[in-house]
Structure 1
C-alpha cells in the first residue's frame, strides 16, 4: 500500500513513541478530533499524543488507505493498553503542503 510521506511519518513516530516528531507532522494551525475532544495547534496536539502514547502505548497497523485530492482515510488496526484493544479505527486526514491540517479519528 502506498502512503503519502506525512502519513508514513505519522505511523512511524507513533510506533517509536516520539510525541515531538509526531507533532511535526501537523501544521501550526492543525486541528485533531479524537475521543470526543478537540486539540488545536501543534502544542496541544503534542500534549494530546504524549499523554496517549504514555497511557496506551498504541501501535498502528495500516489496513487500507484511500485518497481524494487533499483528503485521505487511513483504516488501521490499533492495538495498545486500552480497553477493547485491538480496534479498527479510521483516520480522516486533510493534508496541506505535505503536513496534516486536520485529523478526525473514528471507529
Structure 2
C-alpha cells in the first residue's frame, strides 16, 4: 500500500509509541477529535497521544487508504489494551503542506 510520507510516519510513530514524533506529523495549528474531546495544536496533541499510549498501548496496521477531494481516509486494524480489540478504525485526515491539519476517528 502506497501511503503519503506523513501517514506512513504517523503509523510508524504510533507503533513505536513515540508521542513527540507522532505530534510532529501535525501542523502547529492541527486539531484532533477523539473520544468526544478536541485537542488543539501540536503540544496538546503530544500530551493526548502520550496519555493514550500509556492507557491503551494501541498499535495500528493499515488495511486501506483512499484520497478524496478534501480528506484522506486511512483504514487501520487497531489493537491494544481496550475492549473489542482488535477492530478497524477509519482515520479521517486533512493533510496540508505534508502535515496533518486535522484527524478524526470513526469506527
TM-score bracket relative to the smaller structure:
over 0.9
Query: Which residue does 2:63 correspond to in 1?
Result: 63
Per-residue CA distance 1:24-49 (angstroms, 9 max, x = gap): 00000000001111100001100000
Query: Which residue does 1:87 correspond to in 2?
Result: 87
Work out whether residues 70 and 96 of structure 1, in 8 Å CA contact, stay in contact via their aligned partners in 2.
no
Inter-partner Cα distance in structure 2 for 1:101 and 1:26: 6
Inter-partner Cα distance in structure 2 for 1:87 and 1:48: 21
Can you give the 5+ residue segments of structure 1 that lack an aligned partner in the other structure?
none
In structure 2, the residue corresponding to 1:83 is in which secondary structure?
Answer: coil
Can you give the 5+ residue segments of structure 2 that lack an aligned partner in the other structure?
none
Deviation at 1:68, TM superposition (A): 2.1
Deviation at 1:70, TM superposition (A): 5.0
Inter-partner Cα distance in structure 1 for 2:70 and 2:21: 22
Inter-partner Cα distance in structure 1 for 2:11 and 2:60: 6
Inter-partner Cα distance in structure 2 for 1:81 and 1:102: 25
Work out whether residues 66 and 74 of structure 1, in 8 Å CA contact, stay in contact via their aligned partners in 2.
yes
Q: Paired residues, what number?
A: 107
Query: Which residue does 1:24 correspond to in 2?
Result: 24
Query: Which residue does 2:77 correspond to in 1?
Result: 77
Query: Which residue does 1:44 correspond to in 2?
Result: 44
If the length of structure 1 is used for normalisation, what is the TM-score? 0.97
Per-residue CA distance 1:47-91 (angstroms, 9 max, x = gap): 000001111111001010000245200011000001111111000
Query: Which residue does 1:35 correspond to in 2?
Result: 35
